[in-house]
Chain A
């Protein structure tokens, strides 16, 4: 069974909830319109279709758009070797979706990382603490409106966080087919 067949089975089971599968470079993605249903879809994909390995959960910040967040689940069946990507949008006001931890236990730390870096909460997660930054850090640093240099936080015990000196940065790489000199990271203002 190919990943496309699995995607069509998910679509047949959940119907209008699921958009048509899209293929990009041999990889199949499925958009799920209602983030609240992510648990049911993932549970079906694991129990019925054999996607027994959750490779990663990632999140995207579409800053300035609505819905602001996209949460992406990368699934893999170890026996079949097929891979499937599930995407679902979450609005900024809500910033919450169900945890898939009962399906794959590895989701525990993936969801904690997204909570730490993006500030998206996972309802039903038993231990939703920060995983990379320390307890009590007030920001979510991978959001687009958070500066790379950081912000100062004056919490007791960790009162020393200050913005890092960037000396004219941030230094940005230009993706192009030019030579190394034109591609290398330089100080680039957004107008350029």
Chain B
């Protein structure tokens, strides 16, 4: 009996192989499992709950794992009015989130202070944390939150992960 070895074309694996780069694959993994940190401060948080519930279902986009600990989350959704008094601990929670991290400013208040032009309200959460996507509305429709999530996913998908890192050199992904 002679052992038969097939080289080259293998019909058994056709259709199950995708050629890509390591970076693109990692970005694809990452962008489809964004774990949000619901920073619910006002009525926008109620709409955020609707986004998580069955009708709108944020899990269709891989983000159903709402984490109430900043250490386990990578996308803070600032849902509501940020007062100066709460701005301090919002920044502290943001600082506790591990890198890489993104921020969605949900609604008029989180984006600009909204209708609260007063001594007590921070005029936009972007004054203390870097915001990636702003959502208009008071409060925004759940579809708008999902749209913001898709925009965040597009942004994450374009960000290089291994490029320029030590791991890339070890894996010989880059020219030395």
**Cα A100 to Cα B122 with chains together (Å):** 35
**Cα A134 to Cα B118 with chains together (Å):** 15
| Size category of the binding interface on chain A | 20 to 34
Q: Which of B3-11, B42-50, B82-90, B97-105 contacts A (4 or more CB under 8 A)?
A: B82-90
**Cα A81 to Cα B164 with chains together (Å):** 75
Q: Mark A140-180, 1 if CB is under 8 A from B, else 0.
A: 01000011111100000110111111110100000000000
Do B119 and A160 touch across chains, with their CB atoms under 8 A apart? no
Asked if A79 is at the interface of the complex by the 8 Å CB criterion, the answer is no
| Size category of the binding interface on chain B | 10 to 19
**Cα A10 to Cα B9 with chains together (Å):** 103
Asked if B26 is at the interface of the complex by the 8 Å CB criterion, the answer is no
Contact pick for A164, options B88, B117, B128, CB 8 Å: B117
Given contacts A160-B127, A160-B128, contact A165 B85 (CB under 8 A): no
Q: Count A/B pairs, Cβ under 8 Å.
A: 47
Do A132 and B113 touch across chains, with their CB atoms under 8 A apart? no
Asked if A78 is at the interface of the complex by the 8 Å CB criterion, the answer is no
**Cα A109 to Cα B119 with chains together (Å):** 21
B120 to chain A, nearest CB (A): 7
Chain B residues closer than 8 Å to A157, beta-carbon distance:
88
Chain A residues closer than 8 Å to B153, beta-carbon distance:
none
A162 to chain B, nearest CB (A): 7
Given contacts A160-B127, A160-B128, A164-B113, contact A148 B119 (CB under 8 A): yes
Asked if B121 is at the interface of the complex by the 8 Å CB criterion, the answer is yes
Do B119 and A146 touch across chains, with their CB atoms under 8 A apart? yes
Do A132 and B85 touch across chains, with their CB atoms under 8 A apart? yes
A153 to chain B, nearest CB (A): 9
Asked if A133 is at the interface of the complex by the 8 Å CB criterion, the answer is yes
Interface residues of A in 5-54 (CB under 8 A from B): none
**Cα A75 to Cα B73 with chains together (Å):** 49
Do A150 and B85 touch across chains, with their CB atoms under 8 A apart? no
**Cα A161 to Cα B87 with chains together (Å):** 10
B41 to chain A, nearest CB (A): 15
Q: Mark B87-115, 1 if CB is under 8 A from A, else 0.
A: 11000000000000000000000000100
Chain A residues closer than 8 Å to B81, beta-carbon distance:
none
User: Given known contacts A149-B117, A164-B121, what 12 new A-B pairs fall within 8 Å (CB)?
Assistant: A133-B84, A133-B120, A134-B88, A139-B119, A141-B120, A150-B119, A150-B120, A160-B84, A160-B127, A161-B119, A164-B123, A165-B117
4 A-B pairs with the lowest CB-CB distances in the bound complex, closest first: A150-B119, A164-B117, A134-B85, A141-B119
